[in-house]
Amino acid sequence: MKLIDGISRMATLVKMLKKEGKSIGFVPTMGYLHEGHMSLVKAAKKHTDVVIMSIFVNPIQFGPKEDFKKYPRDIKRDEALAAETGVDIIFCPTAEEMYPEGFTTYVNVEGLSSVLCGASRIGHFMGVATVVAKLFNIIKPDVAYFGQKDAQQVIAIKQMVCDLNMDIEIKTIPTVRESDGLAMSSRNIYLSEPQRRQALVLKQSLDRAINLVSAGERSSENIIKEMRSLILRMPMVEIDYVSIVDTKNLKDISDISDEVLIALAVFVGKTRLIDNIIVKV
Ligand code: PAF
């Protein structure tokens, strides 16, 4: 496995791979890898010749009061895990090279970026879209892999790829969960034991929603009310949002009649956690 930190070295290697006719699978990450990331790598290995993973804690997708500084980082551990899973190349650029002085161009996926997580994380999706566009331009992947856990992110990236005519297939891989149901996230490391237990309410509230829909409930208002009351039983958990939206445009749906995304974000102490499911009727 190669570890590359310079953009021009990465671009040269990509040129060589393309010349050899190799297809490139790309897994963008911010590191502190877990099974969720590994499931993206495993999917990439099945479909493409070379798997490139980026590890870059992207400063421009964090708000001023967010956890950029304390975001967990452990490149040695990441390297070992990536090698074990079959990553061929890790690309870990520096922030200075990605955003040199004079950098002024940003990608904004309008509409999709300002709802759900975007309503409280102002500028977050512009930071994500910008870094992903840059990484796509450097790595020139045939296929890029994203996790369903970040549903809004992958919907915004798909829109960007379509709007900007990027010739890249975006694949969404199902959320990987701990055995008790908590969605895997690098931020789970922040949780104390009692917080970790209360965080299970994210998945429990989604399960409650599935049961309600299975029992014939179609009113989003009623489902959201039930989910919120379940969550509010946990004193350490504060709700950011619980929403039922269209899976393509993220607009609120009041009566469920087709496919919907049920998504939520909560704070467990200071840690912001998200989860979602897609429900079809
Ligand atoms: O999902 C993530 O880890 C990040 O948002 C991404 C896609 C690597 C962009 O920084």
Reading the chain (281 residues) residue by residue, the pLDDT tens digits are 999 999 999 999 999 999 999 999 999 999 999 999 999 999 999 999 999 999 999 999 999 999 999 999 999 999 999 999 999 999 999 999 999 999 999 999 999 999 999 999 999 999 999 999 999 999 999 999 999 999 999 999 999 999 999 999 999 999 999 999 999 999 999 999 999 999 999 999 999 999 999 999 999 999 999 999 999 999 999 999 999 999 999 999 999 999 999 999 999 999 999 999 999 99
- Beta-strand ranges (E) seen in 120-198 are 143-147, 169-173
Nearest CA, atom 8, ligand 1: 29
Which ligand 1 atom minimizes the distance to the CA of 28? 8
Give the per-residue pLDDT at 39: 98
- Choose one of 90, 99, 128 to mutate for the ligand 1 pocket test, by most ligand atoms within 8 angstroms of C-beta: 128
What residues flank ligand 1, with Cβ below 6 Å? 28-30, 58, 61, 128, 131-132, 150, 153
* Active-site residue, from 34, 37, 47, 124: 37
Ligand 1 centroid from CA 28, angstroms: 6
Strands 143-147, 24-29: parallel, antiparallel or unpaired by DSSP?
parallel
| pLDDT for the residue numbered 149 | 98
* Atom 2, ligand 1: residue with shortest CA distance: 29
The rounded distance, in Å, linking the Cα atoms of 124 and 44 is: 26
Long-range contacts of 261-265 (CB under 8 A, 24+ apart): 261/151, 262/206, 262/209, 262/223, 262/227, 263/116, 263/151, 263/152, 264/202, 264/205, 264/206, 264/227, 264/231, 264/239, 264/240, 265/116, 265/117, 265/120, 265/239, 265/240, 265/241
Q: Which residues contact 164 (CB under 8 A, 6 or more apart)?
A: 107, 133
Q: Is 144 helix (H, G, I), strand (E, B) or coil?
A: strand
Q: Maximum distance among all alpha carbons in the chain?
A: 58
95-120-241 Cα angle (round to 5): 130
Listed residue (114, 144, 123) closest to 68, CA to CA = 123
Q: Do the beta carbons of residue 236 and residue 266 sit within 8 Å?
A: no
CB within 8 Å of 118: residues ≥ 6 apart? 112, 124, 125, 152
Structure token pair of residue 229: 């009351």
Asked if residue 139 lies in contact with residue 14, where contact means CB atoms within 8 angstroms, the answer is yes
Residue 47 annotated among the catalytic residues of the structure: no
Distance, C-alpha 252 to centroid of its chain: 21
Pick the closest to residue 149 from 40, 26, 267, 280 (CA basis): 40
Q: To test ligand 1's pocket by mutation, which of 26, 27, 30, 184 has the most ligand atoms within 8 angstroms of CB?
A: 30
Domain ranges, ordered by start, for the chain: 2-173, 186-280
Q: What was the pLDDT predicted at 200? A: 98
Residue by residue, DSSP assigns 180-216 as: TSPBP-GGGGG--HHHHHHTTHHHHHHHHHHHHHHTT
pLDDT at 19: 98
Q: How far is the CA of 233 from the centre of ligand 1 (A)?
A: 31
| Choice from 134, 145, 153 to test ligand 1 binding pocket (greatest atom count within 8 A of CB) | 153
Q: Does domain 2-173 have CATH number 3.40.50.620?
A: yes
Q: 11-14 long-range CB contacts below 8 Å, 24 or more apart? A: 11/138, 13/89, 14/138, 14/139, 14/140
Return the ligand 1 atom nearest residue 147 CA. Answer: 1
What integer pLDDT is reported at residue 239 of this predicted model?
98
The architecture that CATH gives domain 186-280 is 2-Layer Sandwich (3.30)
246 three-class SS:
strand
What are the distances in angstroms from CA 70 to CA 63, 120, 238, 277?
13, 20, 21, 29
